[in-house]
Structure 1
Amino acid sequence: MNLFTSFRFDAMRRVASLFILIAFCTLLHPAVRAQSKGSLADVSFMEGRWRGTFNGGPIDAAWAAPEGDNLPGFMRMMKDNKVTMYEMLIFEQTEKGPIVLVKHFKPGLIGSEEKDVSDRYSFIEAKKNQALFEKSDGQVRIIYEKRSDHQLVIQRGRQEGGKWVFADLFVFNRVR
């Protein structure tokens, strides 16, 4: 083996090693790991009827079991025995993973968003009884979490000082 061949072989080995190292580090990076595809099974823990309080009144929520490519749900917010808002939430399975589509309605079923517009959240990651989604504008993240057999919590997160900070938005107890 001459000096040129030896140098070329050594250079190719280094490039291959560098490529493997970059690929390995990329797979370990949280942003890459978080792009897991996910499925509706990751949010099936939400199934059932739930009740909590919000803004001084009751809030009811219900989610059906996932079937086919969807898991539908709704919320009803009330104050002084009158509805203040309805919210439809549809989890749909896409090729990239589940998404959440949200529409809000005022009393009288008057849409808050334009007819063809809904808030859209993409799946980030899931753990047991917990799923994280991010709004399409990247400004809000939502965690759906079943903390026990009797408690479901929806948390809203915003960026503060370069990291995501979450606070409970809705705390529900199971309705039997």
Structure 2
Amino acid sequence: MKKHILLLLLITSFSFAQNTLHYNDEKGSAKATLEDISWLEGNWKGEAFGGKFEENWSKPTGGSMMFNFKLVADGKVAFYELGHIIEKENTLLYQIKHFDPNLKGWEEKDKSEDFRFIKKEKNRMYFDNFTFEKVSDNEVNVYAYFEESKEEVVFNFKK
């Protein structure tokens, strides 16, 4: 019985992390523009981390798609994110800054978390540790790999 449970856990963890990729300096980034991910524009909602979130993406203008994110758990804001995907050197770069409920930044003043673009495939855009997947015009999955916990989490967004 223990062997079956262990095998099931191994299979589950293997299949669970197959939606994200890690950036490889030798391979670099594929060419891409904001038009390739313009389907992300809009106001999205979902549930995560024991609460409800909303994320709003602007249309591509000025070489950028800006977003804001808010997570509310137990009736209170847990944290915010502000960021963008920008066109840079014929490819894309995904950048995020986090803030606590009082708008105190998690990252240092002049720092952001940066995730380089890897490749595009049909309805998916792969960044380092993040994958944006268009399910339909009104549904998106975002897969995020967390280095510290070695876990991949899926966030389901709906308009």
Range into which the TM-score falls when normalised by the shorter chain: 0.7 to 0.9
TM-score by length of 1: 0.69
CA distance in 2, matches of 1:38, 1:32: 18
Indicate the structure (1 or 2) with the bigger Cα radius of gyration. Answer: 1
Pick closer, same or farther for the CA change 1:70–1:51 going to 2, 3 Å. Answer: same
* 1:169 maps to 2:157: no
Separation of aligned partners in 1, 2:124 and 2:28: 14
Q: Which has the higher contact order (CA 8 A, sep 6+)?
A: 2
* Residue of 64, 69, 94 corresponding to 1:75: 69
- The alpha-carbon deviation at position 57 of structure 1 amounts to 1.1
For residues 35 and 112 of structure 1, the distance between their equivalents in structure 2, rounded to whole angstroms, comes to 27
| AA partner of residue 136 (structure 2) | S
Deviation, structure 1 residue 167: 3.8
Q: Check 1:34–1:117 CA distance in 2 against 1; reply closer, same or farther (3 A cut).
A: closer
Which portions of structure 1, spanning 4 or more consecutive aligned residues, are displaced by more than 6 angstroms? 31-34
The correspondence of residues 56-67 of structure 1 with structure 2, limited to 5 A, is 56-67=50-61
Deviations 1:94-113 (A, max 9, x none): 11411011000001111010
Separation (CA, whole Å) in 2 of partners of 1:166 and 1:173: 23
* Residue of structure 1 in register with 2:135 after alignment: 147
Matching of residue 95 in structure 1 with residue 89 in structure 2 = yes
Instruction: Tell me whether 1:116 sits opposite 2:101 in the alignment.
Output: no
CA distance in structure 1 between the partners assigned to 2:132 and 2:151 by the alignment:
11
Task: Give the SS at the match of 2:107.
Answer: coil
CA contact (8 A) 2:29 2:91 kept: no
Give the CA deviation at 1:157: 3.6
Shift of 1:89: 2.0
State the alpha-carbon separation in 1 of the partners of residues 39 and 123 from structure 2: 6
Partner Cα distance (1:67, 1:110) in 2? 28
Q: CA RMSD in A?
A: 2.3
**Structure 2 stretches of 5 or more lacking a match?**
1-24
Contact kept in structure 1, 2:39 and 2:137, CA below 8 Å: no
Where does structure 1 lack aligned partners over 5 or more consecutive residues?
1-30, 135-140, 160-164
Residue in structure 1 matched with residue 13 of structure 2 by the alignment: none
